A and B are shown apart, each in its own frame.
Chain A
């Protein structure tokens, strides 16, 4: 096993613009790192660069202590699980899993033992004689993972491996991947556009946008302390609510929305001192759906209260999503499902001032 280090990594196709810019990630041995971002952000390209399937335009890539920029894919000792599994249709499950070992010239008996061990681990022993076309998506997915496991590589790469599965199976497989990571105790790099997968699987998440790293941190830190508005909007479901406005400090510290409909007294806001420096400047206020509540906590002064017209109500069973308009934005509040909420009446809601986020409207960087 080994760590993977990306130093100032860059990629351009045929002298075109850079699609990956100055990416620095230090992945520790045995760490599970998730690369996440919207489609086109360069996450798959980055993974393919690590795998050796794409050339590296600039910077350095290390696997363990070895610089591997020019090392061919076959010599990087890496295994990859592809989005479409890439199982050879003319081979049985056993042959698919044994292929890499056979190419390496391992003795037949050892190949059999390794394949059977991996098959037991993934509970696919009964499928070894089947062809990929005779299996379900979930089974193929396991075989693809099995093919990676048998080689016992230094690093595992996963390229959106769950995106072809239905929602229920995705949930199950997420848990199994976590288990697998614990059992194999291996370095894993996982690409997804699904922030739920990122949050649940990663020891650390790297958020990418247009080839740049926006933030890298543990899932909870990303969620609670997003470094910029992009990360705040991307991580979390439903996404964070945003409202543009400005800071007024000519009396008590206040946030005033751009349309002037909303003024929030921020004298109780924990980082009030930092905000003062932004007096008169445009900022964006952010608040997560679960931090807008129906009842205030014991300290009512730490809440901002507002009566809002309800646009739509979604009863999820465990919780209720309430949609309401605020100036040009549509806000979402995640409320307890204990009390029914009529869709046609205004609703009194309490915003937890301690959970407000502010971002510089120009740079989108979080004000902390």
Chain B
């Protein structure tokens, strides 16, 4: 397990091209120099955000912050013979409170950096919308039916606003520098999503698929979080 985490961290570090030798090389713990307040920016699968971290004890941190994921894209996708326009919009925005615990802080190896995290978030936005249209021509017999005449499909998936979180990560409790990095991996439990599917014009009958889509999506209840923290010590 340890080897796996190491590989994961190494891969992420290579990806972001950041030198972390100074942090990972920390072997001597000087608790008198420990920072208590941090401000942290993060980039994660749940979006970009900021956090304020309070570390009253070496083994415990408390974090409060927010994350915003505004994803909007228009794309033309060629699928087999049909070209498809898909307008996508995913919005995940939350305010969260987290508690971190360093269970192996007294160890003299990499395990000392392990943190276990629990918390919860309030998502004021937790939904995905898609507008799907044919980018081409369909046929009724020999009659060409343009995408405009065919209509559009509107799909929408919404999750609970309050979601608990559990995860783990790696962070140096006694960083030597003002700036340091941390990593987290976990998941929010979002609950069973609410799904709607609406067709217009000639696609109105496709509304009948809504219940099936709801069943298919009912298992999609966890929002995984892979996060990189850029911490700055305030004292």
Chains A and B are bound partners: no
